[in-house]
Chain A
């Protein structure tokens, strides 16, 4: 029968379309009507005579609902993966058309059997099924979705499996407590005791969603299963268990956290594989948050200390990376006694990766220190390590530090900043690595609040100049982006004196992105310093470039005018800019001419109607008869936008 489907393609379209009409009807009528539609028809009914059916039309479902599934199946079997993928992505349409009962009885079994497809198709399927609850008839029937998702949760490809688990987690919430025990929990158990590691890996992600809503006997079983998986002999499963340990701990009763989770945590944290141990560090944060303060020392700290000194840098890296979270979880006392020395060690670690991760946390760590001893700890313990890091051999470490070090000034206050931090800032401003200097400059605002930027300006200038001329255009771009901020902090005099030339030099950079950013920068500066300043310092230079022999520079003039006209106001635009733009309409390069048209369109709204009619209009009309088609196009566009026709 399916074979016939193809030949009848066109007819099916019609069929499908009626279905669509019905579907809409159903949507409008709401769920009650939808149920009415789904009345199953007996075989006898199906063989009723035409008239009988016609008379029953109001409520009966047509047999044509057969075709969408036929179409789908035909498409699902197509040789072309893309077509199979398409049909899977439209699965909800098909299910909607089929109605809930046929979706349950025909579509889902079919899908369960097609699990041997390409991973891409399976991924789409796994995702779709997570949103299928209403399409199978609501929460009452949601367990019908379990068989296909169970198979999907056992495939090798991680992406598919993860998606299946995600969908399973989603629909688990739609199960009633009874269904959860009758249908969902057995599935978790089956997965947890599967032969191949993939199903056991998937099971790890499902314990925490069903645990809170099942009876205590089932809870005991779930805990047992989780324990077993934590000591699985494949590292893949242990990794999955370790990564879900924190999440599982959160749903467990406190007594079980102490009795079960802690022993699992300790075991995983001393696993033979560092990839497992480092995941235990992540769990440490959640576990420590759950336990009362007095238990932390005995239950968590031995393991955490061991992790901070692990022989694998990956584990130490993880500790450094999670340091702020750990600090918050264990509280101020343990932080003072244990974490401070641990953090010092991490800042002095032999691997640059670890040092960089720790350096990134310097500010957060200091911020979260208990207030009473904060300054003392920073000054005596942390700052000496930070000083060493400023001259680290590895540039990633230095630039990680540079991105946060400025934040210390707010914590330490004016005097300490000037005495201790300022020399470090200055050293980093002279660092050989541009990223370090850039990170310092981009965080200047923190220092500005505490000591004022003047303290730095002497060293700042050479650093900025050097970055402004860096060989990498991305570095130049980054420094341009900080210009408005710097200008605001340094004040207009300093700017005019030292930085103005740089800003103008960027306008003739050989990289377009820089010229574009420079244009935008000028606009922001004008917004900051006002139109008068613009008229005196920027506008003459910009307009001067209109006579440059390089057409790219002439175009930059136009781009600047586009950006500046609004900020400069009608007077400057009409008197100074407009004549230049109009003059450029005679440029011999077509690109310049059509940019004149674009510029006129852009600055038109700023001009008064007299200027528009007497000056702009004739020029645009002339350009509209240009030999170049692009010039013509943009001139016409400008004429219509400015309503000059």
Chain B
């Protein structure tokens, strides 16, 4: 057993820094299940550029077939020679399709896609670290990257080749191909996801027939991520592609696209790992709103529905997104949403976490938002005033208090009379609220007693006679605010109740 260092002995826990240090960049083989029994040794083929043009095509095919051989990269000692031959061949192939014209003849398509499929489509291995935290932990890298990288490179050059014909390729690059490509976005290796992003983007651009399918499958991946697994490494990359797709949507927006916004993009905000893709997500949302401003109200209501309750870090992100939305909001839309929105903002301003409060207060540094507030000051000031006033006296953080003073000053300058009114009625309002609160508490306490089938309730009914007196007192108040016929009904009801109390005593 290894010697235990003194610091470890103290509490039995290893220091986090030490654990981190022990971890090395791990790499991982793809889960290729018993694909080939034993790799045959590859023998080098002549260079394509040296072959006579009549034989080039044949040689190209041979090389593609040669590259279908897979190697185990976790085992770093075997097949070294063959691995090197494959690497060199792949390099040559990349070069061949990117520099030469006229190499993509129709017969080459199936060979090319076959080579690509064999190499890149694989079941991703189980994560080494089940509670992988993408922000803290090093990702596990793909062991066979030296080959896979070149295959991706080749695929990209193939798609970008001027001779590339989608009408032929669509027989091979079909729905199944795309589906497998999308599954690879879950790769932990960021280099792989980056390639996939560019490739999927090219495919989306070139294959019109696949567009709806791609969008739908991305939908499914997101929905699985939100509601089932909460795990998918490629959300940010997929959102980045969607950002540019949304940008190209025609107006008016199709119902399908609106549904995607409301039922997929907005719920994506609930994800625990929001920080990993929030920038891309917010970009997509804002793109939608720039296309169709009438979506502003449902979007903001959606965000308010999913507003984080316990995660301050996420709350800051939400506030950031709200500001991005407010930057592009139309004044008419603002009016529709201002009340629920500012109720939330007033809660954020009063948040004990200073970063949340600070982020919310920064809204008042934004000229456009300021102008919107000024326009609607009579609505917004009453919502904001209570929180701001209280925070200016109570918040523990001096920076926040200073910011709040500035905000209060700005608001005061916008409507001085209203401000004064609110100031003078503040105390009374608070008291009224407090009273309401007490009344509710008491009400629920009583309702709770309903449930307890406690026979003593009847005998020791503390609300007995005093209760009747109180009710009679209240009755006067009721009658005052009710119409004539209502009063009649109430009288009946009350007397019924009075009678009951008496009969039970």
- Chain B residues in 8 Å Cβ range of A313: 31, 33, 123, 125-126
What residues of A have a CB within 8 angstroms of the CB of B478 in the complex? 4, 8, 11
* 0/1 interface trace, chain B 467-495, chain A, CB 8 Å (1 if under): 10011001101100110001011011111
A461 at the interface (CB under 8 A from B): no
Are B449 and A17 in contact, with the CB atoms below 8 A?
yes
Partner of B470, one of A14, A54, A79, A311: A14
Q: Is the CB of A511 within 8 A of B263?
A: no
Chain A 68-91 against B: per-residue CB contact (8 Å), 1 yes, 0 no? 100100010001000100100010
Which of A18-26, A362-370, A401-409, A581-589 lies at the interface?
A18-26
Which residues in A have their C-beta under 8 angstroms from that of B488? Answer: 47
Can you sample 19 A-B contacts with CB below 8 Å? A4-B481, A10-B474, A11-B470, A16-B446, A17-B461, A19-B450, A21-B504, A24-B454, A47-B488, A48-B492, A53-B492, A62-B493, A63-B492, A97-B450, A197-B223, A470-B1, A471-B9, A472-B12, A510-B11
A14 touches B497 (CB 8 A): yes
The answer to whether the Cβ of B36 comes within 8 Å of any Cβ in the partner chain is: no
* B442 & A471 in contact (Cβ 8 Å cutoff): no
Residues of A near B481 (CB, < 8 A) are: 4, 7
Q: Which 6 residue pairs spanning A and B have beta carbons closest together?
A: A9-B439, A473-B12, A20-B450, A63-B493, A62-B496, A11-B474
Separation of A239 and B491 alpha carbons in the complex (Å): 60
Q: Are B470 and A157 in touch, CB under 8 angstroms?
A: no
CB neighbours of A474 from chain B (8 A): 12
Give the one of B220, B455, B486 with max A CB within 10 A: B220
Q: From the candidates A14, A53, A54, A351, name the one contacting B467 in the complex (CB within 8 A).
A: A14
Q: Which of A80-138 contact B (CB under 8 A)?
A: 83, 86, 90, 93-94, 96-97, 118
Taking the closest CB of chain A, its distance from the CB of B78, in whole angstroms, is 15
Expressed in whole angstroms, the Cα–Cα distance for A23 and B440 within the complex equals 21
> Is A250 located at the chain interface by the 8 A CB criterion?
no
Contacts of B179 in A (CB 8 A): 272
B interface majority secondary structure: helix
Asked if B444 is an interface residue, CB under 8 A from chain A, the answer is yes
B417 interfacial by beta-carbon distance below 8 Å:
no
Q: Are A471 and B14 closer than 8 Å at their CB atoms?
A: yes
**Contact: A466 with B442, CB < 8 Å?**
no
Residue in B closest to A474 when the chains form the complex, CB atoms: B12
Not counting A20-B449, A21-B500, A236-B220, a sample of 10 additional A-B residue pairs whose C-beta atoms are within 8 angstroms of each other reads A8-B478, A9-B442, A11-B471, A54-B495, A63-B496, A64-B497, A90-B448, A93-B450, A274-B123, A511-B12
Report if A376 contacts B (CB, 8 A): no
The answer to whether B499 has its CB under 8 Å from any CB of chain A is yes
Decide if A6 touches B497 in the complex (CB within 8 Å). no
- B492 & A17 in contact (Cβ 8 Å cutoff): no
B497 adjacent to A8 (CB under 8 Å): no
Q: Which chain A residue lies CB-closest to B223? A: A236
B224 at the interface (CB under 8 A from A): yes
A-B contact count (CB 8 A): 185
Residues of A within 8 A of B (CB): 1, 4, 6-24, 27, 46-48, 50, 53-54, 57, 60, 62-64, 66, 68, 71, 75, 79, 83, 86, 90, 93-94, 96-97, 118, 156-158, 196-197, 234-236, 239, 272, 274-275, 309-314, 316, 350-353, 466, 469-474, 476, 510-511
Query: CB < 8 Å: which of B14, B263, B463 contacts A196?
Result: B263
Is B455's CB under 8 angstroms from A13's CB?
A: no
| CB of B447 closer than 8 Å to a CB of A | yes
Report whether B492 and A312 are in contact in the complex, using a CB–CB cutoff of 8 Å.
no
Identify which of A1, A68, A93, A157 contacts B451 (C-beta below 8 A): A93
A64 touches B474 (CB 8 A): no
| B227: Cβ under 8 A from any A Cβ | yes
Alpha-carbon gap, A353 to B28, bound state (A):
14
Asked if A471 and B12 make an inter-chain contact with CB atoms under 8 angstroms apart, the answer reads yes
Q: Which of A12, A21, A118 contacts B458 (CB 8 A)?
A: A21
Say yes or no: A24 contacts B457, CB within 8 Å.
yes
B500 contact from A13, A62, A63, A351, Cβ within 8 A: A62
Contacts of A27 in B (CB 8 A): 453
* Given A313-B33, A350-B34, A471-B9, A10 and B500 contact (CB-CB distance below 8 Å): no
**Contacts A8-B477, A16-B450 hold; do A79 and B263 have CB atoms under 8 A apart?**
no
A314 to B491, CA, bound (A): 70
**Least distance between A92 CB and chain B CB atoms (Å):** 8
Q: What separation, in Å, do the CA atoms of A12 and B501 have in the docked complex?
A: 14
Given contacts A313-B31, A471-B14, contact A13 B442 (CB under 8 A): yes
B123 contacts A312, CB within 8 Å? yes
Closest residue of chain A to B128, judged by CB?
A352
Bound Cα distance from A384 to B471, whole angstroms: 86
Contact between B223 and A10, CB atoms less than 8 A apart? no
Q: How far is the CA of A541 from the CA of B463 in the complex (A)?
A: 66
CA separation between A470 and B1, bound complex, in Å?
Answer: 9
Tell me whether B80 is interfacial, beta carbon within 8 Å.
no
- Which residue of chain B lies nearest to A465 when distances are taken between CB atoms in the complex? B1
State whether A6 touches B474 (Cβ < 8 A).
Answer: no
